[in-house]
Amino acid sequence: MITNNKILAALVGHIKWLSVVLSLAVASTSVFASAINLRNSDISLFIETVAEITGKNFIIDPRVKGNVTVVATAPMSNQDIYDVFLSVMDVHGFVALPEGKAIKIVPNINSRFAGSGDGKGIAPGSLVTQVIQVQEASAKDLVPLLRPLLPLETHLAAFEKSNQLVVSSTRNHVQRLASLVQRLDKSGQSYSQVIRLAYANALEVEALLLKLQQTPAGQVLANMAVVADERTNSVILMHTKPIEAGVLEVIADLDKSVPQTQAEQQAIKVHYLKYADADRLAPIIERIALGGAASQSQEGDANKPTLPVSVQADQQLNALIIAAPSSLMMTLEGLIAQLDVRRAQILVEAVIAEISSTHAAELGMQWALAGNGIAGATNFADSSLINLVANPLTLGSGMTLGVGKLPLEGADGMATILRALNSDADTNIVSTPSVVTLDNEEAEIVVGQNVPFVTGQYTNPGANSGSTTNAPFQTIQRENVGVKLKILPKINDGDAISLSITQEVSSLSAQSISASDVVTNTRTIDTTVIASDGDLVVLGGLIDDQMVDTTEKVPLLGDLPVLGAAFRYQKSNLAKRNLVVFIRPTIVRDASLLESLSHEKYQFLRAKQILLNQSQGELFQGMTKPLLGEPLPAKAEPEAIEKSKANW
Q: List strand residue ranges (DSSP E) for 383-519, in order.
A: 399-405, 413-431, 434-438, 443-461, 470-491, 496-508
| Distance between CA atoms of residues 182 and 421, nearest Å | 95
> 355 and 447 share a domain?
yes
> 361 and 494 share a domain?
yes
Plot region of 27 (φ>0 → left; ψ -120 to 50 → alpha; else → beta):
alpha
> 324 and 438 share a domain?
no
Question: Is 113 part of a structural domain of the chain?
Answer: no
Check residue 32 and report its DSSP letter. Answer: T
The pLDDT assigned to 470 comes to 59
The pLDDT assigned to 279 comes to 93
The pLDDT assigned to 280 comes to 92
Question: Is 28 part of a structural domain of the chain?
Answer: no
Check residue 126 and report its DSSP letter. Answer: B
* Cβ burial, residue 396 (10 Å; 0-12/13-18/19+): middle
Residues 372 and 412: beta-carbon distance below 8 Å: yes
| Distance between CA atoms of residues 92 and 259, nearest Å | 36
Question: Is 297 part of a structural domain of the chain?
Answer: no
Provide, for the chain, the percentages of residues in helix, strand and coil under a 3-state DSSP scheme, each rounded to the nearest 5: 30, 40, 30
Q: How distant, in Å, are the alpha carbons of 10, 11, 16, 19, 236 from that of 5?
A: 9, 10, 17, 21, 67
Residues, the chain: 648
The pLDDT assigned to 128 comes to 67
| Distance between CA atoms of residues 210 and 218, nearest Å | 9
Strand, coil or helix: what is 422? strand
C-alpha 16: how far from chain center: 36
The residue segments making up the domain with residue 148 are: 127-185
Strand, coil or helix: what is 47? helix
Vertex 631 angle, CA 628 and 632, to 5°: 145
Question: Is 21 part of a structural domain of the chain?
Answer: no
> 571 and 597 share a domain?
no
Question: Is 434 part of a structural domain of the chain?
Answer: yes
Strand, coil or helix: what is 202? helix
Strand, coil or helix: what is 552? strand
> 239 and 311 share a domain?
no
Domain count of the fold of the chain: 6
- The list of the chain residues with pLDDT below 50 reads 1-4, 6-34, 110-119, 121, 262-264, 299-305, 373-374, 408, 463, 636-637, 640-641, 643-648
Residues 634 and 599: beta-carbon distance below 8 Å: yes
Question: Is 12 part of a structural domain of the chain?
Answer: no
Strand, coil or helix: what is 371? coil
> 354 and 433 share a domain?
yes
pTM of the model: 0.46
> 205 and 224 share a domain?
yes
| Distance between CA atoms of residues 615 and 628, nearest Å | 17
Q: List strand residue ranges (DSSP E) for 535-567, in order.
A: 537-553
| Distance between CA atoms of residues 126 and 111, nearest Å | 10
| Distance between CA atoms of residues 587 and 437, nearest Å | 10
> 246 and 274 share a domain?
no
Question: Is 165 part of a structural domain of the chain?
Answer: yes
> 353 and 501 share a domain?
yes
Vertex 556 angle, CA 554 and 559, to 5°: 85
Strand, coil or helix: what is 378? coil
| Distance between CA atoms of residues 157 and 150, nearest Å | 13
The pLDDT assigned to 405 comes to 58
Question: Is 350 part of a structural domain of the chain?
Answer: yes
| Distance between CA atoms of residues 407 and 344, nearest Å | 80
The 10s digit of each residue's pLDDT in 546-604 is 787 777 777 777 777 877 777 777 778 787 877 788 889 999 887 777 887 888 888 88
Vertex 382 angle, CA 380 and 385, to 5°: 60
CATH number of the domain at 139, please.
3.30.1370.120
Strand, coil or helix: what is 6? helix
Strand partners, 107: 94
Task: Characterize the bridge pairing of strands 57-60 and 102-107.
Answer: parallel
> 318 and 416 share a domain?
no
> 444 and 480 share a domain?
yes
Residues 358 and 510: beta-carbon distance below 8 Å: yes
> 539 and 405 share a domain?
yes
Q: How distant, in Å, are the alpha carbons of 49, 269, 384, 408, 486 from that of 390?
A: 82, 86, 10, 13, 50
The pLDDT assigned to 319 comes to 93
